[in-house]
Structure 1
Amino acid sequence: MSDAATQDRLRVNFIGIGGRKCATSWVFKCLTEHPDICGAHSKETHFFSTDNLYDQGLAAYAAHFTICGNEKIRGEFSTSYLTSTQAAKRIYEDFPQVKLIVCLRDPVARAVSALQHMLSKGKIRKTDALQDILKRYPELLEEGMYGKYLAAYLKLFPRNQLHITRYEDIQKNPQQVIRELYRYLGVDATFTPQGLYYKYNTSGARNAIWFKHSLALYHALMRNAFGRMLVKALKRLGLNAYTLDTVLRRGTTNAYAVSDQDRQRITRFYENDQRLLQKLLA
């Protein structure tokens, strides 16, 4: 393989670093629908945050992008990167010019959403006290410490290499959010992805099973030459390679009830970190 081919094989233009329960799947879907953008065959490689994966070297990382062809931009999204200072250092060492994307959400709402997800997975019960849940799963609140963890990234990367997308803005104006992302990555911002119209229910407790299945189908098609040709042809027509089922189960009858007192306790937990975040992003 020529030096130029090797360099292109290791090319990564953007890396999404998180956070969990902040619409990262929606963002990744809208990005990879763009004809000039190719995503890793699995949305989350967790390469930089997992020791045994990182130790395999960048050639192993490049294997995640073998589905990519001549697209102008390629990248991935791993939510584990946000809370990993090791990932921040590794990304900077290997790709110091990469454009970072982080999705944020009101940390209290994110924590409540995470509780509903844990309930749906059988990790907690509706009758469990919040304080007991937090003892077992301290990461539930820790993952909302955006200021703490973004500070580690901004010690390494300049501010203009970090694009902030907010969950609340996606709810209000998804088209503006994705156009800003396209402009940030330097691709045609007039393109409208079909995934733009993927809807979240108002309760925040959503069933993303069909959404994940559609992503899986997309990546399966991208693993062979015929599938890639089909996807690219559909992209040129402004269509998806699949139909996303937008009928979502609300799940409100099986929700974890967060009391006003617990919600206030969570809010106080984040007060200092939110001030730090505002200072970092000012």
Structure 2
Amino acid sequence: MSKSSIVDFIGVGSGKCGSTWFFENVIQHPEIYDGNPKEINYFSDLFNQHSPEWYASQFKGCTDDSLLKGEFSVTYMYHPEAAKRIKENCPDAKIIAIVRDPIYRTFSDYLHAQRKGDIAPTVPFSDYIKDEKKLEFGCYTQYLKQFFDNFPAEQIKVIVLEDFNENYEKGFRDVFEFLGLKDVNFVPPGVEERRNQARSYRFIKLENLLVKTYRMLAKAGYTRLTETVKRSGIPELFRKFNTSKKPLPQIDDASKETLKQYFATEKKFVSELTGSSLSAWQ
């Protein structure tokens, strides 16, 4: 990796596509710095507040130059200036994007909006999707375009989550080859354990408070503190205590059909871009 880049790889999105689980497994590779922080949001939310030196300082714990440095901030895919900013500061960085069936990505966003307290749990999904702004994050074409406009195609890897989940070993091998690692056959321990999966909560207000605290710290630039707290395991213990056995809501058939028609063009684009049949997509 050229010294002209602050980091070796950057995950740019999309949100609600398994990025937390993916990143936590990737950084277990012995050739990658295991202290790499997630969700720095520098090239989106914090670019005008901090210098490139501040961004570089987020990786100061990596004292071994042979280890790869990188991060994953899902806000980068959606920010209109992020790709250009990354190109200017990290021209040699490998770019990773994860996409999934936009219907289920939208539904996951709906459940997450309840966790954040942005919408009440009583709001039905059919009403939620009437706001077209809630659907645009599943329109991958317009967001990925800025990265292909700024970086050569061989420097970008677009992962289809459903394909990746079918064969973890092949999925991670492809990623490690893309990153130029020596041991491409490394399989992260505990890869079957998922992160940030949707669940029902006994007290949704407590979950709202936890998520809002994360957001506040992240927007203030306390990335490493946020990561330290998350990796301590305390938030997960809190969530297990607050988890309810109540089944999660399901997508109603009418909403599914509406979204299937709305995202038809995206399915065609992603299939052509990745070569995937997208057989798991609706």
TM-score by length of 2: 0.74
SS at match of 1:61: helix
Preserved contact between residue 199 and residue 248 of structure 2 (Cα < 8 Å): no
1:180 corresponds to which of 154, 174, 178: 174
In structure 2, what residue type is equivalent to 1:262?
Answer: S
Paired residues in the alignment total: 249
**8 Å contact kept, 1:115–1:256:** no
The CA RMSD measured in Å over matched residues stands at 3.6
Does the CA contact (< 8 Å) of 2:5 and 2:93 recur in 1?
no
SS of alignment partner, residue 113 of structure 1: helix
The equivalent of 1:264 in structure 2 is: 257
Residues 19, 79 of structure 1: 8 Å contact kept: yes
Maintained 8 Å contact 2:40/2:73: yes
In the TM superposition, residue 134 of structure 1 has moved relative to its aligned partner by 4.1
Distance of 1:184 and 1:20 partners within structure 2? 21
Residues 59, 196 of structure 1: alpha-carbon distance in 2 compared, 3 angstrom cutoff = same
Indicate the residue corresponding to 2:94 in structure 1.
Answer: 99
Match of 1:194 in 2: 189
Picking from 11, 19, 32, the partner of 1:24 is 19
**Within the alignment, does 1:155 sit opposite 2:143 as a pair?**
no
Name the aligned partner's letter for residue 253 of structure 2.
D
One-letter identity of the residue aligned with 1:116: L
- Aligned pair partner of 1:255 in 238, 241, 248: 248
Give the superposition deviation at 1:55: 4.6
Do the aligned partners of 1:126 and 1:255 also contact (CA within 8 Å) in 2?
A: no
The Cα of 1:84 is off from its aligned counterpart by 1.4
Deviation at 1:56, TM superposition (A): 2.2
3-state SS of 1:49 partner = coil
| Cα distance in 1 for residues equivalent to 2:63 and 2:38 | 17
1:263 is paired with a residue whose SS is: helix
1:131 Cα deviation (Å)? 5.4
Amino acid at match of 2:135: L
Distance 1:56 1:82 in 2: 20
User: What is the alpha-carbon distance in structure 2 between the residues aligned to residue 194 and residue 241 of structure 1?
Assistant: 18
- Hey, what's the Cα distance between the residues in 2 that align with 1:280 and 1:29? 26
* Greater per-residue helix proportion: 1
Q: Is the 8 A contact 2:110 2:125 kept in 1?
A: no
In 2, the alpha carbon distance for the partners of 1:200 and 1:9 equals: 33
Aligned to 1:115: 110
Tell me, in whole angstroms, the C-alpha distance in 1 between the residues paired with 2:199 and 2:3.
38
Query: After the TM superposition, which of the residue ranges 31-40 and 176-185 deviates more from structure 2?
Result: 31-40
Alpha carbons 1:48, 1:90 under 8 Å: kept: yes
- Residues 163/146 of structure 1: CA separation in 2 closer, same or farther (3 Å cut): same
SS at match of 1:12: coil
The answer for unaligned runs of 5 or more in structure 2 is 201-206, 208-213, 215-223, 276-282
TM-score, structure 1 as length reference: 0.74
Q: What are the Cα deviations for residues 108-161 of structure 1, in whole angstroms up to 9, with x where unaligned?
A: 01111121222334433343244543466x553111111111112111111111
2:43 match? 48
Structure 1, unpaired ranges of 5+: 1-6, 222-239
Quote how far apart the aligned CAs of 1:256 are: 3.5
More divergent stretch after superposition (180-189 vs 246-255): 246-255
CA distance in 1 between partners of 2:156 and 2:139 (Å): 17
In 1: Cα distance, 2:121 partner to 2:247 partner = 8
Q: Structure 2: which amino acid aligns with 1:273? A: E
2:135 to 131, 137, 141: 141
Amino acid of the residue matched to residue 111 of structure 2? Answer: Q
3-state SS of paired residue (1:82)? helix
Match of 2:77 in 1: 82
